[in-house]
Amino acid sequence: MIQLRTYVYIDSLQPQLAEYLATASQGFLPVPGDSCLWVEVSPGMAVHRLTDIALKATQVRLAQQVVEREYGSLVIHHRDQSDVQESGRVLLDQLGTQQAQRKECHVAWSEVIRGMTPDHTVLINRQDRRGSMILPDQSMYILETEPAGYIVYAANQAEKAASITIIDVKAVGAYGRLTLAGSEADVDEAAIAAERAVKNPAGT
């Protein structure tokens, strides 16, 4: 029995998120503007069969595959949105399920911290090396979701909404975590967009 945990479609990867995903990609690197589908299932080993199905269905490329005992995730992308959407449709057919049956996204934590101190920002920058740096006096927004994969859609929508800097996006495991920074006004706007996104995550 395969449980569909996350199924989220991104029509156009924003520049920072695309570059961030590329730093962790083990496969074909996504670029800004690519269409992308993030799928997470349980148990983790099932992701191999689903990856095979998705890649054979259309011309999509595999950006990432993570196989853990409990959860497995795959990320496919392509410049042509219809290829990504069709691979997603085939995946759902093979699972005998629908997008509406994916696990509902739950916000486990959400907070804005304003006027960051230098000691705090230095420590964050040492811990999160794939994204950009947060600077003293900027505001920071942190969001944690369950399942993890929905955090990618939150990051993309936040970047669309405001002039922010992506610090960290962790989208595998039990919980997803997003950290971003910017001016107080921009971070507030991005937070609204991110939380709106996870309440109604996109699909194909």
CATH of the domain at 125: 3.30.70.1710
37: nearest Cα among 82, 77, 79: 77
Half-sphere exposure of residue 60: CA atoms within 13 angstroms, side-chain side: 31
In the predicted model, what is the mean pLDDT of the chain? 94
Amino acid at 109: W
68 and 142 co-located in one domain: no
Q: What is each CA distance from 59 to 19, 76, 98, in whole angstroms?
A: 21, 10, 22
Domain enclosing residue 193, as ranges: 106-199
* Among 101, 125, 150, residue at a domain's last position: 101
31 and 117 co-located in one domain: no
77 and 146 co-located in one domain: no
**Residue 74 in domain:** yes
DSSP summary character for residue 100? G
76 and 90 co-located in one domain: yes
Res 1: pLDDT: 84
Residue 79: pLDDT band (50, 70, 90) is very high
Residues 143-186 pLDDT 10s: 999 999 999 999 999 999 999 999 999 998 889 999 999 999 99
* Among 101, 135, 166, residue at a domain's last position: 101
114 and 184 co-located in one domain: yes
**Residue 95 in domain:** yes
**Residue 14 in domain:** yes
Phi, psi of 38 (to 5 degrees): -115, 120
7 and 58 co-located in one domain: yes
91 and 125 co-located in one domain: no
**Residue 39 in domain:** yes
**Residue 204 in domain:** no
Provide the 10 A C-beta neighbour count for residue 98: 12
* Count of domains forming the chain: 2
19 and 47 co-located in one domain: yes
Residues 21-55 pLDDT 10s: 998 888 899 999 999 999 999 999 999 999 999 99
* Among 54, 79, 101, residue at a domain's last position: 101
65 and 128 co-located in one domain: no
110 and 93 co-located in one domain: no
Q: What is each CA distance from 164 to 4, 40, 79, 115, 130, in whole angstroms?
A: 31, 27, 25, 15, 16
Res 203: pLDDT: 63
121 and 183 co-located in one domain: yes
63 and 147 co-located in one domain: no
Mean pLDDT of 179-199: 97
Residues 99-118 pLDDT 10s: 999 999 999 999 999 999 99
